[in-house]
Structure 1
């Protein structure tokens, strides 16, 4: 329904623009650019490869493959969705941002990686780890809005898509 609304509903998009305007003031500082850089979708692939390398070093080859496949599958679905929806970025977005807006690639990657890390290490490292991941994820969300790179529905769409793709990947992994 969200994809349909973003693509076809003028009223929904007007509301999304209004909400974006209300949420984003003049918070587009350097710290948000650093957070955006560290969670760039291309760099997220590097983080996933590093995690997979650590898992291979621990002789957890199937889990390493699952990490790479999960992020790869999610990114592929996100790219296809971006190319099919063609949503333009918000007015006055950062010059560093290019491409389409829906869904947010940064939030998609950060959500997917947080879910992967939570699945792999959440029980061992406890609630402090979970809270830390949530804080980092929220910082990524705020950075995308503060840098005027995305509308709130782009964030919601990316989060939903990441959870959906992660769930599919998790089911396949459990079947193996």
Structure 2
């Protein structure tokens, strides 16, 4: 199977989920320490903005656009279609469930915390700030690619290059959201923690249900 049993999965879930909940509570109740750290970290990314240089600012804007929650759903839908065509129907369904489940959890967290965005944010960036939906979505897209797409690439060197590119994209999307004043730094960090915790659950569900789903007639030929 693409995803195997792992005795450390519960530990990873508890650690990432625990840190996420801790940050959620600290931000929900306006911790002065977290607020101060957010302001300091944000200044590192935005104190010398490069609009005049053009290229870096354009790259940050492009990455932010390509990682919007709506486009994240489209990317995963495309991945699912490709997997389905290649007779990996169960991984395709898992990919769709993973991104949708993550988005639902992110929206629930946003409405629990109701954190305002930085004052300088663009008008297009409406809604609540915590956690970053762009970062959460692209983190899950990256995880899906790494778990069920990249392993299908035969050449090891190409797999390695793809893995590095995927990691860099996630990092720079998170940076772009802070750089563009769309989020505070801890919004993006918390999004990755939530994404990682949810991924542990999604992986466990895959291991538990993938063999059983092969008993369904139209999924019987699916690779898992």
1:132 paired with 2:154, answer no
Could you tell me which runs of 5 or more consecutive residues in structure 1 were left unpaired when the two chains were aligned. Answer: none
1:31 alignment partner, one of 39, 59, 62: 59
- Secondary structure at the residue paired with 2:84? helix
**Stretches of 4+ aligned residues off by more than 6 angstroms:** none
Give distance in 1, aligned partners of 2:176 and 2:78: 24
2:81 alignment partner, one of 53, 67, 78: 53
Give distance in 2, aligned partners of 1:161 and 1:142: 17
For the pair shown, the structure with the greater C-alpha radius of gyration is: 2
- The aligned residue for residue 14 of structure 1 is 36
1:2 alignment partner, one of 20, 23, 27: 23
Could you tell me which runs of 5 or more consecutive residues in structure 2 were left unpaired when the two chains were aligned. Answer: 1-21, 52-56, 210-224
Deviations 1:77-127 (A, max 9, x none): 000000110000012112221111100000001111101100013343421
- The aligned residue for residue 181 of structure 2 is 148
Give distance in 1, aligned partners of 2:58 and 2:135: 18
TM-score, normalization by structure 2: 0.75
Q: Contact 2:42–2:179 at 8 Å: present in 1 too?
A: no
Q: Contact 1:27–1:146 at 8 Å: present in 2 too?
A: no
Deviation at 1:17, TM superposition (A): 1.8
Give distance in 2, aligned partners of 1:132 and 1:24: 24
TM-score, normalization by structure 1: 0.94
CA RMSD after TM alignment: 1.3
- The aligned residue for residue 112 of structure 1 is 140
